[in-house]
Each structure stands twice: as C-alpha cells, then as structure tokens.
Homo-oligomer: A and B are copies of this chain.
Amino acid sequence: MTVEELPSTNEKIHPNILLNKEIIHDKTFKKRAFGGYDIDEVDGFLDLIIKDYRFIEEGLIKEIKMLKEDMKKLRGH
C-alpha cells in the first residue's frame, strides 16, 4: 500500500490509526494468474474488519471525546 493510499491527516479517525473503513472498503488487490487467495474469503474477512472500524470510529472515538468533555465540566473549565 502506497503512502498516497493512506488517509490524509484530516481524514484520519485518530492520529495514530492508519486506516479507516472507507480505505478498507475501497481497497483492491492485484490478481494472480495462479494460486492467489480465495477472493470471497478475503472480502468476507475484510467486511468484519470494516464493522470493527465503524464501531471504533462511531463508538470508541466518540466515547473518548465525551469523557474528556465531562472531565472539563467536572474540573469547572
């Protein structure tokens, strides 16, 4: 995967997370004439990973934001 294929800074769901669900969904792989990986198995596995990235983005990252906001309020900022 080339650096250009990785999300730019503002597309990143977190500075330390390399990929996002769109990159994984849109990722295409070269085909081999003989003996490559079974396409349906790889695609099915990546679908599970996309589900995880969706939860990480819409669940964990949001939970951290909310906890930090609550902390600020508790500290009276």
A58 to chain B, nearest CB (A): 10
Best-surrounded residue of A24, A30, A42, A63 (most CB of chain B within 10 A): A42
Within 8 Å CB of A16, what residues of B? 55, 59
- Select which of B19, B27, B55, B67 is within 8 A of A52 by beta carbon: B19
| Complex: A59 Cα to B33 Cα, angstroms | 40
- Select which of B24, B32, B74 is within 8 A of A36 by beta carbon: B32
- Counting every copy of the chain, the complex holds 2
- Residues of chain A in range 34-56 having any CB-CB distance to chain B below 8 Å: 34-39, 41-42, 44-45, 48-49, 51-53, 55-56
With A1-B48, A60-B56 in contact, is A35–B33 under 8 Å at CB? yes
With A60-B64, A63-B64 in contact, is A31–B38 under 8 Å at CB? yes
